[in-house]
Structure 1
Amino acid sequence: MRVRRFGDQDYDKLKKNCAKSGHLFVDTLFSPTNASLFLEQGRSSDIVWKRPAELHENPHLFVEGASPNDVTQGTLGNCWFVSACSALTHNSSLLDKVIPDAEKQEWSTKSIYAGIFRFRFWRFGEWVELVVDDLLPTRNGKLLFARSKTENEFWSALLEKAFAKLYGCYENLVGGHLSDALQDVSGGVAETISVGKFLKSDYNDSSCNLFNNLRTAFDSQALIVAAIAARTKEEIEQTLDCGLVKGHAYAVTAVKIVELESSNRIATISSHILGNSRKQKLIRLQNPWGEKEWNGPYSDNSREWDFVSDKQKKDLGITVDEDGEFWMPWESFVQYFTDISMCQLFNTSVFSLSKRYNEQIFFGEWSNHGAKSGAPKDRAGGCYNFAATFCSNPQYIFDVDTPNTDIMFALTQKDMNEGQKRRDPYITIGLHLMKVEANRKHRVHQPMQQIALSNYATARSVFMHLRSLDVGRYVLLPTTFAPKEQTTYMLRIYTPQKVKLFELTKHAPNAPLFGCASPTNICRVIIERAAIDAVTNEQIYCILHSEGKKFRTTSVPVGAQWDAQYLFHKSSKRIPFRVEIWKNTKLARDELLCAAELTVLIDNDKRPLELTLLSPQGVRSGVLYVNVAAYDDSMYL
């Protein structure tokens, strides 16, 4: 695991120096002063910085492990971070990454206490280690910000201080993106789901699909946080009649299905005999305030729990404490909650027995490299709305060889303000996927068929999940919304199957050796469909021949569409092709049905053509419908 030291502070060396000098550590990069609290210089306050040993006679980093109740939000409006930490407590392996060597950092008689701690956050493809002292903001002898309900447990308060150092000051933690916090504590792939949009999608039973997706992700150790959007400033932290709070984030701590029993024992027995037992989808959430819970169905002490067996209630860990954690029915959850931020962790281990994903990572930048907009060196073209420069963006090509391929893309831009109080807004970014010619090897210069488009967001990351992608060749463009915007990005790709991506850098083929003419012309041939006489209910395919090379389409029923596209770079003004139609035969060699000759003229135009198909005996057998486009500029298509 690659780890970078923030501010080049070496935890081990600093701790040894403190032990040798006999002085407790004081962090000079994030001093215990108002400068670490506020954005404005010279601002005064009554806040007193105290060490845990001054707040409790027996301080600990952890008391009986980590739980959601260890992370309670204080007076700082940073529920986006606190709820992410609450979700983190359900993944011990991640918690060990964020708080490395926790046992060695504990207050202990086995080691000298030096007042120094270290934490790690994931930033742009690497883990960043931050060192902090244990001086914490207090008022009237109480912790002011994040704290545990166990008075002598301090890991959440110290972790929050390290996070504030990463963001420049505590005040910069007020109002952030849920997905950013989840990504910072996990290194996973962040996705924000609009509940309303998902329920209006084309999926059959969208609510059930969303529940199943969340349940599968949670069981796979994903970190999940849900929120109720506030439409106005006045609605922020407004408590609804149902007990939920608007403009507030909640950690998802369980996603379950329970069997319901009838309160009448005879009815219960008959329902089991008839196989009519009912099921209820439930979701458990944690309010980072440690209070203010849902008061509807399946809330603490609600009558709905009478229909759940004692064994199931024990397995679910049902409590009636006012601790901020509560269950609610799935139907109510999708009624009230507007957004779900999920950070998935894909298993990429070669030696794992569970489902494994192939991961590829690319680092790049949107930059015009000093060139004019749309020039060959320009790589900051903006989104599809800017058609003249859109194809100037970075491009990544890949092939899908098996039907129904599942592929996920995560695009992340670099935070240029790490550790600074200044917070410049993120650039609006997105992902655009095109299907291209089956034999393309160079950059695309004119937009082609759009297959998928992510949401464009003014955020650190965007995510695009494509299910059931067809066989073919594709080009992915990570883009900014507007042209000429420049920053660095990281592109991650996850697939269950092997799909290899390459960045396209060349605009056209190089000049051939031995003095041959450069391929200055470009031609695209699109084979659409064939109408063949006296042939029905057959599977046919097409082979396109060009100068000793051949290109085969997929097999389709007679009359069905191929829409197979091929691209050719040539130096001649007349480009000859031969097109053959073959019939699939299961028991013998495939049968050549008919063929046609095609000559494409470089005339800077595109047109549909109907080619006469002739049998091997020279008899007319039908018509082949094609589209051709030919230009005397090798960088036109």
Structure 2
Amino acid sequence: MERGGKVEDDEEDLFVDSEFPADDSALLSDSSTPICKLKDSITWLRPQEICQSPELFPEDISLGHAKQGLLGDCWLLCACTILLQNKHLLNKVIPLGQPLWALLEKAYAKLHGSYERLWAGQVSEALVDLTGGLAEHWSLRSLGNDEDHSKEQKTDLVRRKSGRALVKLVKDNCLLACSTNSRPAEEASELSQYHALNVLECVEVSTTSEQKVNLLRIRNPWGRCCWDGSWIEGGHGWSTLDPLCAMGLKSRISQGEFWLDEEEFVSMFDDVTVGYQVNQTGHLKSIYSGHTLTHQHQLTGEWKKGSSAGGSRNSNRYSTNPKYCLKVRESGEVLVSLLQHKDNKRIVKSVQNIFEDLSICEHQHYHAIALHIWKLEKKRFNLNRVLNKAPFASTHCHAYDREVVLHQELQTGYYLMIPSTYQLEAEAQFLIRVFSSSSTSLSTLESPALPLPLTIGGEWDNNYFQGVCGDIMESTGVNIKITLRQTTSEKDLYPIGFHIYKAQDGMSESRLPVDDEPVASCVPHCYNQVVFLMCHLHPGVYTIVPSTYEPDCPANFSLCISSRVHRKIVKCQEKLGKPIKEISCTSLMQN
């Protein structure tokens, strides 16, 4: 925890973190949340000044409830409670000898830039950050129009939405949290706001009429009950059970915990977060099959404007997105995760309406992302032909999530994976992770050095002119359009044109072959802002020489080289998912 900070020479001096000092710079980023009211009025205390024996989590879980104050980070508190239930994960996050809960919150605030940046978020994000594993965010409400999804996707979505599936996940000891997005104001305070809670266990009981009922034990991070359904103290549900059974279940609940049945759970909560179990060796356990995913690979990537930010499949520049090859050596279960890095510069500041609607913040700092996979017949392939076909598997839409996860059973062979943003030219860095039950390998596919369309700037001056060199790689040649634009006002136009020369074998690319006959020319020179030429070029290296008709005509110009991508019409166009809601309850925790 001392890395990046400063410690005085005297061993008795206490640690001071110079990168995250105890002042308002650590508290606030843009003053866009209610905690800005605390500026200049915060007293910073060391752990031993708060309590005599500070502990992150005591041995008795019931005494370890986090008390949420003004900071709307119940989503983080839920992830912390899950750590408490998995001590081997907790030991990876908290250094031995520093058992203070507030230290974990401070470290997470430092990672995000300030405490204010912890206002509103997703349990799934905190869970991934704290465990290094995977988590999926499932909606219990509308998942979109059924006709928007393929048969396989609809089956998967319906299964996720099923309460039975959730019950099985709890019984399999998966890491589970639930959240509310909106409720009528007359309902219980926490559940009428944007709040996250933990799912601790599920038990199946039989009523006196021999009906099976699944009961789920829920914990409120605030440490108090916020539910008044059939299974609260004195609720009519207990009268349907054997008294001994009812007494045993009631004895399990601690402060802030309550029981509800499966039907109440599905009707009450809007979303669930399902975290993958991480075993002692760091391997994930699949929530779909229960198998241990013993193989893992990861690669970083970037969508870069002008080169690799090709947008969705609706765009004719989709093929310029980063591409990855997945080799499956043995058939088995595969999970592919696409995680984008947060861009805090994109967070919209609403300083004028600071307190009007702070219970929900949409993902202004995330792009809508998706992942598509194609099955390849062989390792070498024609990209355009592959992209003309429907994907073998994909996420069901571009989602405004930090991370999207694709689960699939894959046979032996090669697979092309393309991560994309919905918006063209959207820039971001990302991480691709692959978890599998069988042997796999992951590699980056290099894109051509000069992807089309390509625009190059240049200048004519009194003593110099420059040619542009390009390499045509297609085995059968390519039809291209070359456009020359002079960047001057219409009253100062020069007559312009260009010639295209093919470089001879062994010829240096720096030597301009002006003594040779051009293979194509855009002449005569014209007094136009823009001139262009359509031509077919065979494989080889070419030099394009733009020129003015007369010498000594200084001007700036741009040269654009483009080609038509012949692609079949895709019947199912890409869909854009709805912005997800971040969890942030604004009420103060009262004792």
1:288 to 221, 224, 227: 221
Match of 1:39 in 2: 29
3-state DSSP class of the match of 2:392? strand
- Structure 2 CA distance, aligned partners of 1:417 and 1:430? 21
Note if contact 1:217-1:344 (Cα within 8 Å) is conserved in structure 2: no
Note if contact 2:181-2:195 (Cα within 8 Å) is conserved in structure 1: yes
Unaligned runs of 5+ in 1: 107-154, 268-276, 509-517, 523-570, 572-603, 608-637
- Structure 1 CA distance, aligned partners of 2:427 and 2:391? 24
Match of 2:324 in 1: 396
Match for 2:368: what amino acid?
A: T
3-state DSSP class of the match of 2:384? coil
Question: Which protein has the bigger strand share?
Answer: 1
Shift of 1:410: 0.8
- Structure 2 CA distance, aligned partners of 1:335 and 1:86? 24
Match for 1:439: what amino acid?
A: K
- Structure 2 CA distance, aligned partners of 1:171 and 1:605? 49
TM-score by structure 1 length?
A: 0.58
Note if contact 1:429-1:458 (Cα within 8 Å) is conserved in structure 2: yes
Match of 1:456 in 2: 398
Shift of 1:295: 0.9
Per-residue displacement from partner, 1:207-263 (whole Å, max 9, x unpaired)?
7974454345445554322111139xxx7xx46269733311112222x2322131x
1:258 aligns with 2:204: yes
Note if contact 1:284-1:327 (Cα within 8 Å) is conserved in structure 2: yes
Per-residue displacement from partner, 1:475-500 (whole Å, max 9, x unpaired)?
22111222333332211112223344
- Structure 1 CA distance, aligned partners of 2:434 and 2:283? 20
Match of 1:520 in 2: 475
Per-residue displacement from partner, 1:46-90 (whole Å, max 9, x unpaired)?
332233433434444443354584212112111111122122221
Match for 2:322: what amino acid?
A: P
Match for 1:260: what amino acid?
A: S
Match of 1:79 in 2: 74
Note if contact 2:341-2:428 (Cα within 8 Å) is conserved in structure 1: yes
Match for 1:366: what amino acid?
A: E
**Structure 2 matches for 1:191-270, cutoff 5 A?**
191-197=136-142, 202-203=154-155, 206=158, 210-218=162-170, 221-230=173-182, 238=185, 240=187, 244-254=191-201, 256-262=202-208
Bigger RCO of structures 1 and 2 (CA < 8 A, at least 6 apart): 2
Per-residue displacement from partner, 1:7-41 (whole Å, max 9, x unpaired)?
6348xxx4xx57x4433333332222233222358
Per-residue displacement from partner, 1:89-136 (whole Å, max 9, x unpaired)?
2111111111121xx236xxxxxxxxxxxxxxxxxxxxxxxxxxxxxx
- Structure 2 CA distance, aligned partners of 1:39 and 1:488? 22
Shift of 1:453: 2.6
3-state DSSP class of the match of 1:29? coil
Q: Percent identity?
A: 27
1:498 aligns with 2:439: yes
Match of 1:540 in 2: none
Note if contact 1:190-1:462 (Cα within 8 Å) is conserved in structure 2: no
Match for 1:430: what amino acid?
A: A
Match for 1:81: what amino acid?
A: L
C-alpha RMSD of matched pairs (Å) = 4.2
Note if contact 2:55-2:101 (Cα within 8 Å) is conserved in structure 1: no
- Structure 2 CA distance, aligned partners of 1:62 and 1:294? 25
1:360 to 293, 296, 302: 296
- Structure 1 CA distance, aligned partners of 2:311 and 2:128? 26
1:379 aligns with 2:308: yes
Match of 2:421 in 1: 480
1:439 to 345, 361, 378: 378
Match of 1:630 in 2: none
1:340 aligns with 2:336: no
1:409 aligns with 2:361: no
TM-score by structure 2 length?
A: 0.62
1:162 to 94, 107, 126: 107
3-state DSSP class of the match of 1:450? coil
Match of 1:48 in 2: 43
- Structure 2 CA distance, aligned partners of 1:95 and 1:453? 34
3-state DSSP class of the match of 2:102? helix
**Structure 2 matches for 1:271-310, cutoff 5 A?**
277-309=210-242
Unaligned runs of 5+ in 2: 147-152, 350-362, 450-472, 478-538, 540-564, 569-591
Aligned length in residues:
426
Note if contact 1:290-1:325 (Cα within 8 Å) is conserved in structure 2: yes
- Structure 1 CA distance, aligned partners of 2:230 and 2:108? 37
- Note closer, same or farther for the CA distance 1:331–1:229 as it changes in structure 2 (3 Å cut): same
- Note closer, same or farther for the CA distance 1:27–1:314 as it changes in structure 2 (3 Å cut): farther
